[in-house]
A and B are shown apart, each in its own frame.
Chain A
Amino acid sequence: MKTFSLCLALSLGAVNAALAADTQESDFYKITTFATPSTTAMEVGSIDLMPSNKLALGTRRGEIWIVSNAHLADASKVSYQLFASGLHEVLGIAYNTKDGCLYATTRYEVTRLKDVDSDGRADVFENVNDGWGISGDYHEYALGSRFDKAGDLWITLCLTGSFNSAVPYRGWAVRIKPDGMLVPTCSGVRSPGGVGFDADGETYYVDNQGPWHGSCTLQHLVPGTFQGHPGGNIWYDMAKNMGPRPIDPIPEAFKGDLKRGEKRVGGDPGRMVAERKRIKELLPPAVYMVHGKIGNSSTFIVCDETSGKFGPFEKQLFIGDQSHSNVSRVFLETINGIKQGVVIPFRTGFASGLIGGRMNAEGQLFTGGSDRGWGARGGKPHCFEKLEWTGQVPFEIHEMRAQPDGFELTFTQPIDAKTASDIASYSMRAFTYAYREDYGGDEIDEVLPKITAAKVAADGKGVRLSISPLTQGHIHELHLDGVKNTKGQPVLHPVAYYTLNEIPK
């Protein structure tokens, strides 16, 4: 019988199940899986909130479903109404509070849907803007946001494949203004996975590991910037508001005659930290969503603006992953004018590959997705789920901030001064990725910094680590295996990956 219960625990909590007595993710954040209509494959690609606690789900099959009662504790009360069908992949859905309409971002168009006769089904499908091209390549996805504070929609347009842009604005982020105008906003996009906002209303998107970025990345969409992949830069002539085309990365960073995956003799010379000095429009990723560790395919970006209803991580970002069927947590700060921050594992165990996500004011994170075309750990072909805080505070890193000589960490619970002040409780390695055209990339330029001091804060909830050296442009991977809270429990997720674009002065 004892053996049996141990097996059960192992199967429930993959990350922290080594000891059955330890806490696990599900103690703090609960996943509810909804039944979905058998008449369709509910491959959730986008979610937005609607009045009366309703949700709009846009799916990869091109349907829009209005969901009622998903906020109720009893998941069996959920109901679905098919609002529209036959659209070309709804990877962006946005409810407009001003006109009461849903706006769907599809492969080639932002469509405004109206239900004029109020029968619960859309009967007017207006083209709001279709000003970007589509060449017929399956890769040319369009991922749209909900409305930002200015009433704009942000749309990230996947390249034609991984390297090229066959038609205008493939490889760009554009905004659709309230009057329907398209404004080219950022270049350098490759294969976006989602667009979202932080608590200040700043816009971010996630890009997939591939050419130029050796890992998935969280990128800050500052209008006018170049996000790293030069494949779409041929359209600068059409985007006069963006100014002149940025200079290209160094020639050695391009594949040239090399085959995909073929190593360059002597290694790849391109580095983001150097190139961003040379290419003034180039904005480095705010956070590398470290490939294989945090996930393999980042998707939605959700900010906790619930003032504590989702737990202790107010204003932090929660980012889904299609491949790993998980959600990670990001804390961002601005150093020397640049966004950067830390990503920490948060919750695994979703049923399928997560794509769309949206949190309501009650701290309910609705998400869903599919494993179609790209496998997912969840195991189910598609899902629609809800993640909620149980009210129990996990022992976690709360925030991690860069300091001129190290990092400052705060925790969600008082820490045990003895273990937290022991430098042996910590370890760190730092690495980066080559900034180059070939697909993917290894963790390179490894540095093993020394942790020279760990000073516990006066309130007993933080620690100041002195690190030597800090390496600009490197991801600093911190392990806190020895740190305990005052109850003697370890950190639930004792690893953090901080992208150090800038070292504070």
Chain B
Amino acid sequence: MVTPPGFSTQEKAGAAPSDAIILFDGKDLSKWMREPRKDSPPGDDKPTWKVENGYMEIVGKSGSIRTREKFKGDHQLHLEWCTPKEVVGNGQGRGNSGVFIEGFPEIQVLDSYQNDTYPDGQAAGLYKNYPPMVNASRKPGEWQTYDILFERAKPGSKAKLTVIHNGIVVQYEREFDSGLQEGDLLLQDHLNPVRYRNIWLRPLRVDSDKVGTKAPAKAAATKPSAAKPEVIRIKTMTAQMKYDETEFTVRPGQPVKLIFENGDDLPHNLVLCQPGTDTAAMAMKQMEKPEEALKRNWLPDDQRIWLHSKMLNPHETDTLTFTAPEKPGDYPFVCTFPGHALTMNGKMKVLPLGEGLRDLKFALYLGDWKQLPDFATLKPHREGTVEDNLVQIKLDDYKNHFGVVFTGKLTAPRKGSYRFYIAGDDGVRLLINGKQVIIHDGIHPAGDIKEGSTQLEQGDHEFRLEYFQAAGDIAVFAAWKGANFDITPLSAWTPDGWQKGAKAKAKKEFAPIPLVVKDEPVIYRNFIEGAGNRGIAVGYPGGINIAWSAEAMNLAVVWRGAFIDAAMHWNSRGGGKAKPLGYDTFKPAGEATPALFVTDKPDAAWPAWDMVKRFEGFHWKGYSLDQSRNPTFRYTWNGAEVEESFTASGNGNLPDGNATLTRTVKISGTVPANAWYRLATGANLVSKDGSFLGKDGTIAYRITAPGAKLAGQNLVIPAKAGTLSITYQWAQ
């Protein structure tokens, strides 16, 4: 039994039914939190909409409101709304708001009474999806009702939405591809003072009508076994500000055990968010109220977070056990400790497997071939169906000198490009609808996977895999992949690394050889990204690193955290440019260019690199190490002699703003007239509080140097005999 709702009138809202969750009873917004707009003023998470006379009214720019709770399963949502009686604006600018049920499109709230707009943008329209079947709008200033029935996706059944507007069905069982099983509700601040009242929610089905629900479809049986969770290991790397794995894939609904290990000397967490979350912005936002964020141990108070580890101290481990979301998509994860989110992030891909083959048959041919024969001209020795609809060789009589043609049906779930994979010992060839997609002919072992793509219409397609065996090992592999499903084997046997397709072999990765900086600077001369081919990287104790360029005779790269991974150069033939192993990398000189230049226009472009002539006038002299093995670089430029040394202070690994690189430049000898020493270049250099702020991508840095000035995009000092002192810091 349930007590039915009371009638609502224009004056007064009716009572909610007895089994409903009341979301707004006209008195307070305690069930709701503020969801700020981009232009919202700062504030806490309490909504600031007006509540009076039994309704709430949107205060423009204050932000939308979102339920604090998420609701699992299928529901009936009732709400009443009213657009301003005084008509202001037209089209979408008139009484605009919206109801968002997570996983569904916006259900438009708009004054659609004699107000033209695009069809699916009118009231009760499923915005950008479906217009209402009829326009059931009342006049502006009158209360209108929505009864919204939303059903989450079930095996064999999509998510569905029904909307009843003022008692009239205007959307009926609209289907959507969302696999989401729970979600919150949101009422949108679209700047217009729309009112809401009498909001409640009740389950769509209660126990008594359970018999009416459909039995779970067969597809459930193909789900991964609940008993065996997928184990994912993610580790943070020492002083590199990154996770060792930045992407992993799980199946919808698959049990997952995520073992998160902090291998770094700083605290880190791992926070999993809903698809589309701007994790960097989310993590950055909590810095607006650092005291509160600190109390929460740097875990943002954000509804988009659905799972998180503890904030791990150095060398701690946490294990998260969860069921992967049903909804396919990229679920970003991030470390929300201050300053980490830009580099410490990744994504969990939720991607189902595709369907398998149907009606798989084989035809066996006998013959001794070195290449695939034209099977069409041959007579099969034996034919039959294949077990489990998986390509496989189960021929007890024949070990050598035979061929098999597999034929079956494959259903493309939608029109689009599909990728196929084959491997075989020996030759193998795949045809779809009679057209060759991939061939790997001849006699060979099965290790190499070959790939090919083809366009398929939605529906059934003819699969044909030709295979021959000369002698030795017998193996055959086939798989396919679509835009919305992961690589799926079509054969009983799979080679090592099949999940990555042909790339698995092509991409050779070496175990890292990190050069560890202990109590004295470490020097590494090699190809360094940003410092050219005569790069000299120096890792100073305390997590501050530079690369000096003996091509440009200039400081080229600054970064913090870990120094360099030599694996690229100390494996195989040693090619390629090594990137900083740490983070917060910036290149004050942009592309490696000299500091010194003669010009009467210090805002001019500095000379560009010429591989043959190099930078004219510069001669590299080498470096010497002082007592603490700090290098001093030396070069000559025309008549001048230049010495440069660096000292690092503070801890580069701490976000306390104290990490400082101090550069001392001694110029002696004859310095040409109109000579300038350029400290930095970049379009976004600005002067601030006696220093200069620059940005390299997202990395902000501060340069302080007495006598420096901005000339256009160049930060320069007149070059004279004497000593320059320049400090570099990371700006917060």
Q: How far is the CA of A137 from the CA of B577 in the complex (A)?
A: 10
What count of chain B residues pass the 8 Å CB interface test?
Answer: 31
Q: Are A372 and B611 in contact (CB under 8 A)?
A: no
The answer to the question of A130 belonging to the interface, with a C-beta cut-off of 8 Å to chain B, is: yes
Q: Which residues of A contact B614 (CB under 8 A)?
A: 133
Q: Which residues of A contact B550 (CB under 8 A)?
A: 108-109, 127, 130
Chain B residues 524-544 with CB under 8 Å of chain A are 524-527, 532-534, 536
The answer to the question of A61 belonging to the interface, with a C-beta cut-off of 8 Å to chain B, is: yes
Q: Are A133 and B612 in contact (CB under 8 A)?
A: yes
Which of B534, B572, B629 gathers most chain A CB within 10 Å?
A: B534
Q: How far is the CA of A133 from the CA of B622 in the complex (A)?
A: 17
Q: Which residues of B contact A41 (CB under 8 A)?
A: 570
The answer to the question of A476 belonging to the interface, with a C-beta cut-off of 8 Å to chain B, is: no
Q: How far is the CA of A139 from the CA of B614 in the complex (A)?
A: 20
CB closest chain-A residue, reference B564: A86
What is the 8 Å Cβ interface bit string for chain B, positions 550-577, against chain A (1 contact, 0 not)? 1000000000000000100011111111
What is the 8 Å Cβ interface bit string for chain A, positions 67-82, against chain B (1 contact, 0 not)? 0000000000000000
Chain A residues 109-159 with CB under 8 Å of chain B are 109, 111-112, 116-117, 122-127, 130, 133-139
Q: Which residues of A contact B522 (CB under 8 A)?
A: 85-86
Q: How far is the CA of A378 from the CA of B605 in the complex (A)?
A: 54
Q: Which residues of A contact B527 (CB under 8 A)?
A: 136
Closest beta carbon of chain A to B592's beta carbon, Å: 12
What is the 8 Å Cβ interface bit string for chain B, positions 610-647, against chain A (1 contact, 0 not)? 01101000001111110101000000000000000000
The answer to the question of A171 belonging to the interface, with a C-beta cut-off of 8 Å to chain B, is: no
Q: Which residues of A contact B574 (CB under 8 A)?
A: 60, 89, 138, 372-373
Q: Are B533 and A130 in contact (CB under 8 A)?
A: no
The answer to the question of A106 belonging to the interface, with a C-beta cut-off of 8 Å to chain B, is: yes
User: Of the candidates A88, A109, A373, which one forms a contact with B573 in the assembled complex, judged by CB atoms under 8 Å apart?
Assistant: A373
CB closest chain-B residue, reference A62: B525
The answer to the question of A166 belonging to the interface, with a C-beta cut-off of 8 Å to chain B, is: yes
Q: Which residues of B contact A60 (CB under 8 A)?
A: 570, 574
The answer to the question of A44 belonging to the interface, with a C-beta cut-off of 8 Å to chain B, is: no
What is the 8 Å Cβ interface bit string for chain B, positions 505-524, against chain A (1 contact, 0 not)? 00000000000000000111
Q: Are A127 and B612 in contact (CB under 8 A)?
A: no
User: Of the candidates B523, B576, B611, B612, which one forms a contact with A85 in the assembled complex, judged by CB atoms under 8 Å apart?
Assistant: B523
The answer to the question of A167 belonging to the interface, with a C-beta cut-off of 8 Å to chain B, is: yes
Q: Which residues of B contact A138 (CB under 8 A)?
A: 573-576
Q: Which residues of A contact B532 (CB under 8 A)?
A: 136
Chain B residues 178-235 with CB under 8 Å of chain A are none
Q: Are B611 and A135 in contact (CB under 8 A)?
A: yes
Which of B624, B627, B629 gathers most chain A CB within 10 Å?
A: B624
Closest beta carbon of chain A to B567's beta carbon, Å: 12
Q: Are B572 and A372 in contact (CB under 8 A)?
A: yes
The answer to the question of A168 belonging to the interface, with a C-beta cut-off of 8 Å to chain B, is: yes
Closest beta carbon of chain A to B492's beta carbon, Å: 35
User: Of the candidates A86, A126, A133, A137, which one forms a contact with B525 in the assembled complex, judged by CB atoms under 8 Å apart?
Assistant: A86
Q: Are A126 and B622 in contact (CB under 8 A)?
A: yes
Q: How far is the CA of A62 from the CA of B528 in the complex (A)?
A: 15
User: Of the candidates A88, A89, A166, A373, which one forms a contact with B611 in the assembled complex, judged by CB atoms under 8 Å apart?
Assistant: A166
Closest beta carbon of chain B to A238's beta carbon, Å: 9
Q: Are B620 and A127 in contact (CB under 8 A)?
A: yes
Q: Are B612 and A167 in contact (CB under 8 A)?
A: yes
Closest beta carbon of chain B to A124's beta carbon, Å: 4
Chain A residues 85-112 with CB under 8 Å of chain B are 85-89, 106-109, 111-112
Q: Are B525 and A87 in contact (CB under 8 A)?
A: yes
Q: Which residues of A contact B622 (CB under 8 A)?
A: 111-112, 124-127
Q: Are B571 and A372 in contact (CB under 8 A)?
A: yes
Q: How far is the CA of A167 from the CA of B613 in the complex (A)?
A: 9
CB closest chain-B residue, reference A374: B573
Q: Are A108 and B534 in contact (CB under 8 A)?
A: yes
Q: Are A130 and B612 in contact (CB under 8 A)?
A: no
Q: How far is the CA of A108 from the CA of B528 in the complex (A)?
A: 14
Q: Are A130 and B534 in contact (CB under 8 A)?
A: yes
Q: Are B573 and A372 in contact (CB under 8 A)?
A: yes
Q: Are B623 and A125 in contact (CB under 8 A)?
A: yes
Given contacts A89-B574, A134-B534, A372-B573, contact A124 B624 (CB under 8 A): yes
CB closest chain-B residue, reference A113: B622
Q: Which residues of B contact A85 (CB under 8 A)?
A: 522-523
Q: Are B620 and A130 in contact (CB under 8 A)?
A: yes
CB closest chain-B residue, reference A84: B523
Which of A41, A86, A117, A133 gathers most chain B CB within 10 Å?
A: A86
Closest beta carbon of chain A to B529's beta carbon, Å: 10
Q: How far is the CA of A139 from the CA of B572 in the complex (A)?
A: 12
Q: How far is the CA of A372 from the CA of B525 in the complex (A)?
A: 19
CB closest chain-A residue, reference B527: A136
Given contacts A138-B573, A138-B575, A373-B574, contact A124 B625 (CB under 8 A): yes
Q: Which residues of A contact B570 (CB under 8 A)?
A: 41, 60-61, 372
Q: Are A136 and B612 in contact (CB under 8 A)?
A: no
Given contacts A87-B525, A108-B533, A372-B572, contact A136 B577 (CB under 8 A): yes
Q: Which residues of A contact B621 (CB under 8 A)?
A: 126-127
Q: How far is the CA of A60 from the CA of B573 in the complex (A)?
A: 10
Closest beta carbon of chain B to A479's beta carbon, Å: 36
Closest beta carbon of chain A to B461's beta carbon, Å: 37
Closest beta carbon of chain B to A191's beta carbon, Å: 12
Q: How far is the CA of A111 from the CA of B536 in the complex (A)?
A: 14
Q: How far is the CA of A86 from the CA of B550 in the complex (A)?
A: 14
Q: Which residues of B contact A373 (CB under 8 A)?
A: 572-574
Q: Are B571 and A125 in contact (CB under 8 A)?
A: no
Q: How far is the CA of A125 from the CA of B548 in the complex (A)?
A: 15
Q: Which residues of B contact A136 (CB under 8 A)?
A: 527, 532-533, 577
Closest beta carbon of chain B to A109's beta carbon, Å: 8
Q: Which residues of B contact A123 (CB under 8 A)?
A: 624-625, 629
Q: Are A86 and B524 in contact (CB under 8 A)?
A: yes
Chain A residues 262-310 with CB under 8 Å of chain B are none
Closest beta carbon of chain B to A351's beta carbon, Å: 19
Which of A108, A109, A125, A166 gathers most chain B CB within 10 Å?
A: A125
- Using a CB–CB cutoff of 8 Å, the interface residues on chain A facing chain B are 41, 60-62, 85-89, 106-109, 111-112, 116-117, 122-127, 130, 133-139, 166-168, 372-374
Please name 7 further chain A to chain B contacts, defined as beta carbons within 8 Å, in addition to the given A109-B620, A127-B622, sorted by A numbering.
A60-B570, A62-B524, A109-B550, A124-B622, A126-B621, A134-B533, A135-B611
Closest 8 pairs between A and B when the two form their complex, measured CB to CB = A138-B575, A373-B573, A86-B523, A126-B622, A123-B625, A127-B622, A124-B624, A88-B525
Can you identify 21 A-B contacts, CB atoms within 8 angstroms? A62-B525, A85-B523, A86-B524, A107-B533, A111-B622, A116-B624, A124-B625, A125-B624, A125-B625, A127-B550, A130-B534, A133-B611, A134-B534, A135-B533, A136-B527, A136-B577, A137-B575, A138-B573, A139-B575, A373-B572, A374-B573
- Using a CB–CB cutoff of 8 Å, the interface residues on chain B facing chain A are 522-527, 532-534, 536, 550, 566, 570-577, 611-612, 614, 620-625, 627, 629
